[in-house]
Amino acid sequence: MLFHVEMTVNIPHDLPSQVANELKATERERALELQRSGKWRHLWRMAGRYANVSVFDVSGPSELHEILSALPLFPFMAIKVTPLCRHPSAIREDDT
């Protein structure tokens, strides 16, 4: 099942920079791992913001929730999730 996910990160200004940098590094490694596994299919930066638009390919809402809530930066994220389904006029066969 595909999900469109918008994530906006709001790290508190008073969080020590060393802690913030460690969280960002751990987040990056987890994102790379999820992309390699095929779960995190697309990852796009939103220009001018500390935010991204992503497409996840998971078994359902529960798996997506587990993935998102386990992200190191999750406590500092505002997340919007939209389930996706195939459009009848889509010509690509590999995006089911």
Tens place of pLDDT for every residue, the chain, 96 residues?
999 999 999 999 999 999 999 999 999 999 999 999 999 999 999 999 999 999 999 999 999 999 999 999 999 999 999 999 988 898 877 665
Question: Distance between CA 15 and CA 58 in Å, rounded?
Answer: 32
Q: How many domains does the chain have?
A: 1
CATH of the domain at 41: 3.30.70.1060
**Do the domain assignments include residue 66?**
yes
Q: What is the pLDDT of residue 96?
A: 57
**Do the domain assignments include residue 23?**
yes
Q: Which domain holds residue 15?
A: 2-84
β partners of residue 51:
8
Please give the single-letter amino acid code of residue 12. Answer: P
How many residues are there in the chain?
96
Q: What is the pLDDT of residue 7?
A: 98
